[in-house]
Amino acid sequence: MSSHLAVRRAIGILAWLVSFHVLLAYGLPEWLFIVLNLALGIAYWRVGAPGALVVSLTLVLVTFVYGLALKVSGLEDHIYYRPDEKYSSFDYADNHHVYDANVHIEMVMPHGDLGAVTEMAVAQPRRVRFDTDSEGFRNERDYHGQHYVLVGDSFVAGTDNSQPDVLYAQLLAGYGIDTYSRGYPGNLADYAAYIRSFQRRHGNNFKALLFLFEGNDFDESRGRPQSAIARFGRRYYSLFSDFNTYRVTMSLYKRYLRGKLGGSTRKSSPVEVDELNGKKIAFYRHYINVAHRPKLDDVVGFERTLASIKPYLARVYFIPAKYRVYAAHLPGAGALPNAQWDYLSGLCRKYDLRCTNLTAPLVRAADAALKKGEFIWWRDDTHWNAAGIAVAARVVATDLAASKNGPRVPRAQVK
C-alpha cells in the first residue's frame, strides 16, 4: 500500500514539475507565475495523480499547438514593432546582453517607443536598417583595430534609427573617424561589462568614449551576479525564454499594460504630449521627473564602477533627456536643475576624467531646427534622430581633434 502511495505521489510531483516548466514558456509576470503554480499544486493534490497527469499533458499539448500557430501565422515575428526586442540576446560567456550576431535586415517601424504607450497621434513611421556584427553589436563590420570604442546604451546603439544614421556611422561618414560601437541598453555596470569583455577579446590598445543618459543611467549601477549558480540559472531559463510562446505572450501582456496606461487619464499616463510649431511631440513622464530632480546625492554602485573603468576611458559624455532639450519651449517647464550633470561632473573632477555635457549644443541645434519646423529627437520617441546624433558626432569629432593636437585637459570639461 505504501509503495502504491509513493508512486502516486511521484506522479503528482512529476506532473507539477511538467506544468511548472510549461508555464515558464509563457513569459508570465512573476506574481501570476507564482499564483498559477500554487493553484496547480493545490489542484493536483485534490484530483490525485491521474488527474494531475492529464492536466499537465493537456498543458503541454495546448502550448505546442499555440507555438505552432504562432509560427504558421507569422505572429511570432509581427509582434515586434522594432528590431531591438526581436533580436535581443544574451552573451553567457561575458555575462551581458547583446543583439543576435550577424543580423542584416530592413523593416518599417510604425512608431517609436513613446508611440507604443500613447493613443495620441504622434507616430512617425520610418524604415530602419539594422545590422549587427559577429559579437552582437550594431556595426556593419567586425572590430578591425579601431582605437576608439563607443560605449553606452540605446543612444550609442542607435535604437529606433537606421544604420547609416547611428553614431559610429556618422563619425566615419562625416569626419573620417573609424570607431567601434559597443552599445546596448543597460546601466553603468553593463557598460563596464561591455568594456571588460572587449578588453578580454581584443587587448588593451583602445580607449572608450562612454555615454551616460540622464534619463535612466543615474538610477543605479548594479551588475549581474557572477556566480556559477546564477549563470546556470540564466542559461537554464533561456531554454524557455527563447520560445515564441514566451516572447509573444510577454509582448502581448506588456502591450495590454501600456494600453491601459496610455489610454488612462492624462495625469496617470506615462506619456506627456505637447505641441511645438503645430506638431505634437511626446515626452516620457519618468524622464520629465528625472529632469526636475532637485538633487542627486548618490547612486548605488555608480562611483565604484566608474572608478574601476577609468584606465579605459578617454572621455565621458552626458546625454540630456529630450524634455531638457526642449524645456524652454514647453509651458510649465521652468528652469530645470542639473542634478545628474552636477553629480557626474563632480565624479569627473574627483577622478580626473574628461567629461563633456552635450546639453548646450543639443539645445542650440534643437532651437535652430524648430525655426524650420524640424526636430532633433523623434517626436514619438525617447531617442534622438539622425539630426540629434549628428550634433553628438560633431562634438565628439571636435573633442578627439583637440585631444590629439592639444595638451591633455586634467579636469572635467563643461561645454
Q: Tell me the pTM.
A: 0.84
Query: CA 147, CA 97: separation in Å to the nearest integer?
Result: 23
Residues 169 and 63 in one domain: no
If asked whether residues 216 and 89 sit together in one domain, one would say yes
126 in the same domain as 46 = no
Any residues with CB less than 8 A from the CB of 415 and at least 6 apart, and which? 356, 357, 358, 360, 361, 395
- What would the grid cell of residue 31 be? 506574481
Other beta carbons less than 10 A from residue 402's beta carbon:
14
Overall size of the chain counted in residues: 415
**Domain assignment of residue 159, yes or no:** yes
Domain shared by 58 and 182, yes or no: no
Q: Are residues 38 and 116 in the same domain?
A: no
Q: What pLDDT is attached to residue 27?
A: 80
Query: Where does a domain end: 75, 102, 133?
Result: 75
Q: In this structure, are 63 and 157 located in the same domain?
A: no
Q: Are residues 61 and 134 in the same domain?
A: no
Predicted pLDDT at 283: 96
DSSP assignment letter at 384: B
What are the strands, taking DSSP E only, across 244-373?
A: 271-276, 279-284, 313-319, 355-357
The set of cell numbers assigned to 329 is 519651449
Whether 14 and 163 map to the same domain: the answer is: no
Dihedral sign (CA 390, 391, 394, 399): negative
CB distance 355 to 315 below 8 Å:
yes
* Residue 257 domain flag: no
Please check whether residue 238 lies inside any domain of the structure.
no
> Any idea what DSSP says for residue 320?
P
Question: Could you tell me if residue 306 is inside a domain?
Answer: yes
**Residue pLDDT, tens place only, 94-150:** 888 899 999 999 999 999 999 888 777 889 999 999 999 999 999 999 999 999 999
Pair 215, 42: CB distance under 8 Å: no
* Alpha-helical runs (H) found in 358-385: 359-371
Cα separation of 163 and 224, whole Å? Answer: 29
Measure the CA–CA gap between 269 and 273, rounded to whole angstroms: 10
Phi, psi of 23 (to 5 degrees): -65, -30
- CATH number of the domain that 376 lies in? 3.40.50.1110
Asked if residue 35 and residue 177 are part of one domain, the reply reads no
| Contacts for 184 with CB less than 8 Å, ≥ 6 apart | 96, 97, 98, 99, 137, 153, 154, 157, 190, 194
Same domain, 176 and 322: yes
Question: 75, 100, 130 — which closes off a domain?
Answer: 75
Instruction: Show the domain range for 59.
Output: 2-75
Is residue 113 situated within a structural domain?
yes
Q: What is the mean pLDDT of each run of 10 residues along the chain (415 residues)?
A: 76 88 85 89 87 90 88 79 89 87 96 86 94 97 97 97 98 98 95 96 97 93 62 68 79 65 54 93 95 92 96 98 97 91 97 97 98 96 98 97 56 39
Same domain, residue pair 71 and 88: no
The domain total for the chain is 2
